[in-house]
Structure 1
Amino acid sequence: MRLLVTRPEPGASRTAAALQAAGHTPVVRPLMRTEPLPWALPAGDFDAVMLTSAAAVRHAGASADPLKRLPALCVGEACAEAARAAGFAHAEVAGVDAAAVLQRARDFGRVLHLAGVERTPVTVPPEVALTVCEVYRARLLPLDDVPALDGALLYSQRSARHFAAEWARLGRRQGLLLLAISPAVAAAAGPGWPRLRVAAAPNEASMLAALADEGL
């Protein structure tokens, strides 16, 4: 299959390699580009760090070094792996989304969230004293120069909404297979897609398994 890879770099290239290894033809067109923001550690002590994307780990940079002795509560295995590689000594997969991680954060109390500017609104439990530091921004990119496709891989609610808008702008509504990393991402793409699959777990291995389940 010729599959559109919409995630930002450096993840897009890793996904393309995995698709090639599985016999597919990747078409890499990231729909977002992440860029760091200047930030500084706020005053006070914290019991844990909340990380909701690998981009936050990457763009936090050396300013996050004093936090690396703290437990890092991560969304998904990819984020946790990035945290460990960056030197966080106690990085755990605390949930599949920010809401789940905040439930885990109830065991810690004072939590610093290294975040992007654009975030899905969530309810913070009253037991959690959450401080947010915005360490990166994700800018949306147009979907241009796209060949005929068999499917598209969608990784976030924001990029799914943007993909749907760009696909409509291009007038390309053929029998495309959409492969979403989670039910929330699938919902964000909107109705009317003739073929839609949701990964059994919110990770890339499950997305590739869903392709295999389709006999592809």
Structure 2
Amino acid sequence: MVKSNKKYVIIYSCIITAIALVFGILYYEKFFIHSYEKKALLELTYAQQYLSQGEINKALNKKKTKINYLGFLGIISKYPFTKAGNISKFYAGICYYKLGIYKESIKMMESFSAKDDILFSIKYGFIGDAFSQMQDKEKALIYYIKAAKVKENELTTPLYYYKAALLNFYMKRYKKSKYLLEKIEMDYPSFLYKRNVEKYIMFINNKL
């Protein structure tokens, strides 16, 4: 009888511990993480405002200016596990790109975790742009094609195929350029730069 009671006490203790653990996790998520998210999002709005105004250095706050906001880098540092901390990496990548600091732009974009397909595509596209600016055309091409293939859509797919086509064109790889341009012409007839696509195809045909 005593052994049986002990067994029930142990089982009961385990259940209580498990319940306490579950409630502890829920409390942590609801109050601690939620509080962090709210603070991080508020900081994000300040940084976004500076970026929209073209105040790149203020938006990034690379020098950790002693003013009452964090900037994208501060958000990344102080709130690393929040959604705002993650999207700040994307914005920081844009800021570094605009400042011509391409290696840091690539680093930030690579660390950004994109769940949305369009953002994922733009992330790769920015990395491609940065490599292109650094004159590393081969890597730029790799990332433009990656960006185009994340998920077929009317917005980013033809845009990054177009960038890859132009890069091939300027590298005098006319056949590869023509292949991509014709793909755009056939699959994405409403592409914004449709007329340019036609002109490049005509030029390449005359060249070949």
TM-score, with structure 2 as normaliser: 0.23
In proportion to residue count, which structure has more strand? 1
In proportion to residue count, which structure has more helix? 2
TM-score, with structure 1 as normaliser: 0.23
Q: Which has the larger radius of gyration?
A: 2
